[in-house]
Amino acid sequence: MNDPQNVHNYDGPVFNAAVSGAQFAWNNESVTQNQQNDSTVAPGFEALAALVDDLLQQLARAGLADRDREDVEAAAGEVRATISGPGTPEEGRVRRALALLKGVLAPVATGVAAGTAAGAQEWAQTAIEGLTRIV
């Protein structure tokens, strides 16, 4: 008598090897995906890049309204774009990008932004202080 074969039924993609840097959406009606691979940061701006990356990682827990979260993401992206790439970023452009990021965080930090979760105000204040100290 033959041994029964193992049969596996999967409801989604199956990866049989390492997958790195891939994005995909499965079984949904619509999706928007973004991916940035800004691995090159101008020399001297590594600490600022790390701070902005940390701010973005904490953003989901900050409990911001969608519009405020999108503004912070866009402003942080502007800072990253300004300090990434070859050569030394123009000082005025870096200051403007940081001012933009601090500006979108200010209403949250002062409690003016409506609909923010508990702790968002303190989180925004800490982020602004960190951005001010680092530059």
Q: What is the DSSP string of the chain?
A: -PPPPP----SS---SS---S-----S-S-----------B-TT-HHHHHHHHHHHHHHHHHT--HHHHHHHHHHHHHHHHHHBSSSPPPHHHHHHHHHHHHHHHHHHHTT-STTPPTTHHHHHHHHHHHHHHH-
CA nearest to 99, candidates 76, 122, 81, 121: 76
pLDDT at 19: 63
pLDDT at 38: 47
> Per residue of the chain (135 residues), what is the pLDDT tens digit?
566 677 777 777 777 666 655 666 676 666 666 655 545 888 889 999 999 999 998 887 777 778 888 988 999 999 999 998 778 898 998 999 999 999 989 988 888 876 566 678 888 899 999 999 886
- The domain locations on the chain are 46-134
The pTM score is 0.64
pLDDT at 22: 64
pLDDT at 11: 73
pLDDT at 114: 63
**Token pair belonging to 11:** 């409801």
